Structure formats: structure tokens, C-alpha cells
């Protein structure tokens, strides 16, 4: 609030006819205080935004640094696992890793084909080798049952085959039998490999499917007892 002397030209509504100059009090809002407060608020808001942007940038840089460290750590691990990749760049290293994984997958598949672990599905394979000394490799995977081996021996005898080697694995009620056999048809002329293979495959298919057709099933305890009996017979 401030005082001002008015003249007829400046404050005509308050002009009097007397020669005295009246003192007029004019109340005006203080602009200086409000403008300074607005400036301080704007500066504070700007500083808050700058601090927030700086904090976000720092967090982003830290996250990016951790990500790069993690990637470099994985690459170092791959270089230790794959031989001859110490001085390779990232692209060459990843290409070598992909080739190595494909090679391991192929080897695992090859090993799995010759695995002695019984599969869930019935399988019968017959391979013949040799002409004069006929050798046959027969593989049968089926449900385990007490009369399985007697049926197999009868089938081999009917085809005049002798068992030279046998591998048997029982797991969870399934059994895989791999036999190496030779022909006993001495002096009876040549043997037709295709007909012998088909005859043997047909006989083994019947044996493999006979357990499912009869509905024979065994509990885990019965299977363990049966396996123990078989193992004791083999040990004796």
C-alpha cells in the first residue's frame, strides 16, 4: 500500500473544487512478492524434473552395464566350454556354439538308437549279415511276462536258429531283448535271407503282441520279484 497525491489530470474522480490537494489512498496488489514466489516454484519444479531425469539416466546406465556384464559372462563361459574359441568374436563364437549343439544332438540321437532301455511301444527289428555264415541280430521290446523267453526260444528253434549272444534289460514292466543268432541249416542248401527275415519278424511280432492281447499285467512288486528271480537264475 502506498500514498499518492492526485492532480486533476491523473485522479479526476477525486478532484475537489477547493485549492487543497486531497490525499487519496489507492490499494494495489503487491506484484513483486507473487512474481518472486512463482519464479521460485518454477525453479523448484525444474530442478525436480532435472533430478528425476538424471536419476532415470543413471538407473538406465547401471542396468545397461549389468546387462553387458551378464552377456560377457555368458560369452566367457561359452569360450571355456567350446575349445579353440578364445580369440573369436561374438558372432563367430555363437556360430561355433550352434554347430557344437547340433553335433551333440546328433550324437545323442545316435546313442539313443542303440540304447538298451526298453521303449514304451512294442518294437521288433531283424538284421541279417553274411552269406555262408548267416548271422542275425533280433531285437524285441515288449511287456514282460513269465512265458516270454520260452516263446522266444521256441520261435528260434522253429526257424533253426541258435542263440550266440543275448542282452536283456527289464525296466518298469517293459523288457528289451537283443539276440545274436546263427543259422543251423548246414547241408540244406542256401537260405533265402528275405524269407527268413520275414518269418522271424512275423514270429517275434506275435510274441510281442501276445502279452497285450491276453491282458497280462503286473504290479511293481510283482515285477521286482520276477526280475529278482531272473537275476538269481542268471547268477547261478
Which tops the pLDDT comparison, 51 or 129?
51
Q: What number of helices (H) and strands (E) belong to the chain?
A: 5, 6
If you average pLDDT over residues 121-145, what whole number do you get? 76
Whether the CB-CB separation of 171 and 163 falls below 8 Å is answered with no
Domain residue spans of the chain: 65-93, 123-235
pLDDT of residue 71: 92
Note the pLDDT of residue 110.
Answer: 73
> Higher pLDDT residue, 74 or 231?
74
Q: Is the pLDDT of residue 30 over 80?
A: no
Of the pLDDT bands very low, low, confident and very high (cuts 50, 70, 90), residue 1 is very low
Residue 178 has pLDDT above 50, yes or no: yes
- Residue 59 pLDDT > 70: yes
The predicted structure's pLDDT at residue 15? 45
Q: What Cα–Cα distance (Å) separates residue 17 from each residue in 11, 12, 208?
A: 13, 11, 135
Q: State pTM to two decimals.
A: 0.42
**pLDDT number for residue 63:** 92
Q: Does 3.30.70.1060 match the CATH number of domain 123-235?
A: no
199-204 average pLDDT score = 82
pLDDT at residue 9, rounded to an integer: 47
Helix (H, G, I), strand (E, B) or coil at 134: coil
Q: Has residue 36 got a pLDDT over 70?
A: no
Q: Is a pLDDT exceeding 50 seen at residue 18?
A: no
Q: What is the structure's pLDDT at 113?
A: 66
Q: Supply the pLDDT for residue 68.
A: 92
| Rounded Cα gap, residues 2 and 14, in angstroms | 17
Q: Which of 212, 197, 94 is nearest to 137 (CA)?
A: 197
Residues 6+ apart with CB under 8 A from 4: 11, 24, 26
Instruction: Read off the pLDDT of residues 60-99 as tens digits, 9 standing for 90 and up.
Output: 999 999 999 999 999 999 888 888 888 888 899 999 999 9
Amino acid at each position: 500500500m502506498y500514498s499518492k497525491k492526485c492532480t486533476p489530470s491523473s485522479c479526476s474522480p477525486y478532484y475537489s473544487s477547493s485549492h487543497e490537494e486531497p490525499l487519496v489512498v489507492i490499494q494495489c496488489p503487491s506484484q513483486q512478492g507473487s512474481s518472486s514466489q512463482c519464479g521460485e516454484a518454477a525453479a523448484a519444479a525444474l530442478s525436480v524434473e532435472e533430478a528425476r531425469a538424471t536419476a532415470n539416466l543413471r538407473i538406465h546406465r547401471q542396468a545397461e552395464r549389468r546387462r553387458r556384464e551378464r552377456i560377457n559372462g555368458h560369452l566367457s563361459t561359452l569360450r571355456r566350454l567350446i575349445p579353440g574359441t578364445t580369440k573369436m568374436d561374438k558372432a563367430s563364437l555363437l556360430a561355433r556354439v550352434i554347430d557344437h549343439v547340433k553335433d551333440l544332438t546328433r550324437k545323442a540321437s545316435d546313442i539313443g538308437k542303440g540304447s538298451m532301455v526298453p521303449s514304451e511301444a512294442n518294437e521288433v527289428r531283424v538284421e541279417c549279415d553274411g552269406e555262408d555264415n548267416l548271422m542275425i541280430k533280433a531285437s524285441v521290446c515288449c511287456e514282460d511276462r513269465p512265458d516270454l523267453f520260452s516263446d522266444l526260444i521256441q520261435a528260434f528253434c522253429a526257424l533253426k536258429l541258435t542263440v550266440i549272444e543275448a542282452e536283456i534289460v527289464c525296466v518298469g514292466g517293459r523288457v528289451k531283448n537283443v539276440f545274436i543268432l546263427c543259422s543251423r541249416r548246414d547241408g540244406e542248401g542256401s537260405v533265402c535271407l528275405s524269407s527268413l527275415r520275414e518269418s522271424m519278424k512275423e514270429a517275434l511280432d506275435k510274441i510281442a503282441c501276445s502279452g497285450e492281447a491276453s491282458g497280462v499285467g503286473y504290479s511293481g512288486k510283482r515285477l521286482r520279484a520276477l526280475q529278482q528271480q531272473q537275476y538269481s537264475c542268471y547268477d547261478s
